[in-house]
A and B are shown apart, each in its own frame.
Chain A
Amino acid sequence: MSDAMNKSAARNTKVMNRFDLTSRLVARLKNEEAVVGGIGNTNFDLWAAGHRPQNFYMLGSMGLAFPIALGVALAQPNRRVFALEGDGSLLMQLGCLSTIATLKPKNLTMVVMDNGIYQITGAQPTPAAAATDLIAVAAGCGLTHSTWAADEEDFERLIDQSLTASEPMLIGVRIDDKPGTGTTRRDPVQIRERFMLGLGVREAL
């Protein structure tokens, strides 16, 4: 498995924890930034990090966290938008990286939570796990501000940098195999309505 070894050596990144990183991200948001949480553990940990009206939780449509966040970013160019996605989810929709690289929304930051497995279905390895560097893929798609976070401190630095960035950023984080910390309340209409309230699109009934 020399390829796999080369891959991990190239990353030189610490294995972190999804809930911890999500909490660190949310703690740095002071200006009603939107956050889109991808299917499964990614949005469960966003929920567990403390509900915010500007959070959107995906209960399906695997792979669409970045496209949904892109739509938010295009509609509200003055609001910073974050998208949290799992590595397996991103593999379902790699083409969106090219779309985003072409449109270059300056207010969009993407975070890929990479544990190399489909944790929620039984921790089976993804087809990319032993062979593919997702940050290199993103860079190859034209997202030039794509980088692995070396550790928690580096992740926080990159998030701070993204808050004033003038190009889309993609941050890769290696995470462990732990499941999500909480479970999102599965009420899609309420999730959507509260998100729209949080973005100032709707007024409460």
Chain B
Amino acid sequence: MAAADGQMSPAGLGEKAWHEIVQQTLKRNDIRLVPYVPDRVLTRLIKEIHADPFFTTFPTAREEEAVGIVSGAWMAGMRGAVLMQTSGFATLANVLASLAIPYQIPLIMFVSERGTLGEFNYGQSLVCRTMRPVLDSLAMEHHTATRLDEFEFIVDRSIKQAITTQAPVALILSPLLTGGKVFDK
């Protein structure tokens, strides 16, 4: 797998790859439950989380289903985070506005960003443009991670802020961080 896919550690620097940072930061913050709807960019992260017995992780049929699951688990004392793609986030406005925000649930979302910086599917680029306006219209905390050197700080601090303020957060994984998905066929 090419380094341009963002799936490998940067060669020779001894630095952690972005997906290793996600895995380790989730563990450090005792986030054990990780339901997801898969995405190509998230493949390595999903595989590693499955291989780590610390985590309870599984696919769901829809992103809002995963939001419901981590919301219930948090109320019962187990922390979770949801993994998804941009187009999956676009299905969440109702559950954010009627569950996560009004009930003050620290919903932690990792959104792998499709639709920009080399997108090849017009529909993906259009739906991507709805993401930040939806987050902003609900006054939700969100960050777009573009750099590996800032990434651990952003993830760790955002998780801690979500939990202590009981407010959702979306962490958008830019192709600048992950390599994104490139047109190959």
Contacts and interface: CB of A to CB of B under 8 A. Distances in A.
B138 interface: no
Interface string A84-120: 0000000001111011001100000000000000000
Nearest to B97: A60
Interface string A186-200: 001101100110011
Interface residues of B, number: 33
A62 B64 CA distance: 10
A196 B74 CA distance: 9
B30 to A, nearest CB: 12
Contacts of B29: none
Given A61-B94, A61-B95, A188-B103, A74 B69 contact: yes
A145 to B, nearest CB: 20
Contacts of B62: 93, 95
A61 B73 contact: no
Contact of A74 (B56, B66, B95, B99): B56
A74 B76 CA distance: 9
A66 B99 CA distance: 14
B56 A67 contact: no
A95 B60 contact: yes
Contacts of B77: 75-76, 199-201
A77 to B, nearest CB: 10
Nearest to A66: B68
B72 A67 contact: yes
Nearest to A74: B73
Q: Which of B65, B76, B104, B105 has the most CB of A within 10 A?
A: B76
Contacts of A192: 75, 103-105
A64 B68 contact: yes
A71 B72 contact: yes
23 contacts: A60-B94, A61-B95, A64-B99, A66-B68, A67-B60, A67-B67, A67-B68, A68-B72, A71-B69, A71-B73, A71-B74, A71-B78, A71-B80, A74-B73, A75-B78, A93-B61, A95-B61, A95-B62, A102-B58, A191-B103, A192-B104, A192-B105, A201-B76
Interface of B: 33, 35, 56, 58-62, 64-78, 80, 94-95, 97-99, 102-105
